Copies of this chain bind each other. A is one copy, B any other.
């Protein structure tokens, strides 16, 4: 809500925000104010100091993802409080965070900061970039070139520019775009995923159950259950009819421990 604040703190949990509606809030990470707009993905590695402030005059909504259940299981949680307030400077609303100015140029690394960092130093993955990358993949497919993971299905993964690995040590985040009328082949993998319907509408099948989804819906896919989605444009769809899905999962945990498996069924 407008004007709300959260004081500075840090914790071992890896976390992220994915902005679902609105804009105006920002997160201050390591004293760097990071703006938040619809479609932006903001990862935040464990033990970064952070605080939040809503400078907007309307409500916003986002998804907060954390690896709390996992860290609870392995008993590795730590938490510290930080400063009581933020400085004047940190209450400003920049167009780009300092993190983006250092790390947001494709394939270019700032030598002064360059070393493998476990959680990504790029604190905001802008919607404009994600949208352009997905559009490019579908265009390449249309022109007869590789790019999509299967016909009509564009997929990008958020990565850490210092390691080329997943954006956070325990969390994988990806964005899917399924072209109007396309249906993805049933795919299983170990580990569980959460999906948010960012835009469009369609039909989801998980195992033997299927249901319709539309913008704003959330759904969960348990470990080793086959998932298939079909994009179905409806009258209320504001866009091209594509189905846009944000996904996050615990795949990095499984991959690093040699427990990741996946299986794609032939499409019917």
Contact = CB atoms under 8 A, between A and B. Distances in A.
Interface of A: 12, 46, 70-71, 73-76, 78, 98, 101-114, 116, 118-120, 122, 125, 129-130, 132-133, 136-137, 139-140, 145-149, 155-164, 167, 169-170, 174, 190-192, 222-224, 250, 252-254, 256-261
A159 B161 contact: yes
Nearest to A148: B112
A260 B12 CA distance: 10
A159 B192 contact: no
Contacts of A112: 137, 146-149, 155
B147 A12 contact: no
B191 A157 contact: no
Contacts of A223: 74-76
B111 A157 contact: yes
A161 B111 contact: no
A105 B156 CA distance: 10
A194 to B, nearest CB: 14
Contacts of A74: 70, 190-191, 223, 250, 253-254, 259
Given A74-B254, A76-B260, A101-B139, 7 more contacts: A70-B73, A75-B222, A75-B223, A75-B224, A76-B191, A76-B223, A76-B254
A95 B25 CA distance: 36
Nearest to A259: B76
A17 B147 CA distance: 25
A122 B136 contact: no
